[in-house]
Structure 1
């Protein structure tokens, strides 16, 4: 279990929500994340790049059997490092809140 540690990178509202959405699942499609968060593609890409550069998320592009064109789906998953950082951040927030 990771120690409680406030994480400035994760704490930004959209990135906190991204990590929260990814934590209980193996992976999510970029479009599902975008639509759930209600942000533009460019905004989500920027947040995911910051998280990926820190080693917190991994992006995997994959061809889709359901598409007739050559576009690929982008799958996003929280890495073990990202899960630990998120869990530690949530613990720190609980400590701050006195819970």
Structure 2
């Protein structure tokens, strides 16, 4: 049983979980809700984008730039696989205790 390091990293795991649960989020919302710095978020999002796990949408709203993020199909699959791996680990531990 092996974890995907892209998803398993704690900050990225929180980003994956937030986007999976909420569908999409703005850059500002992610920094505020996850309580991480802009630079930290930007570096993790870049890594996720390079792995084709997150889609980035940039637009102007009332003449101000707004960037939103959502998981791609691949990102959703990786996150779901990660959850499956965690559940299998828990099941194995329960079996070992019997």
TM-score by length of 2: 0.86
Kept after mapping to 2: 8 A contact 1:5/1:89: no
Give the root-mean-square deviation of aligned CA atoms: 1.6
1:27 equivalent among 24, 46, 63: 24
Tell me the secondary structure at the aligned position of residue 22 of structure 2. Answer: coil
Matches of 1:41 and 1:10 in 2, distance apart? 19
Q: Flag the structure with higher helix content.
A: 2
Once the two structures are superposed, what CA deviation does each residue of 1:4-43 show, in whole Å capped at 9, x if it has no partner? Answer: 8621111011100101001123311111111111111000
Matches of 2:67 and 2:53 in 1, distance apart? 16
Consecutive unaligned residues in structure 2, runs of 5 or more: none
Kept after mapping to 2: 8 A contact 1:5/1:91: no
Larger RCO (CA under 8 A, 6+ residues apart) = 1
Matches of 1:52 and 1:87 in 2, distance apart? 17
Who wins on radius of gyration, i.e. which is larger?
2
Q: Which residue matches 1:41?
A: 38
Matches of 2:83 and 2:49 in 1, distance apart? 19
Consecutive unaligned residues in structure 1, runs of 5 or more: none
Q: Which residue matches 1:12?
A: 9
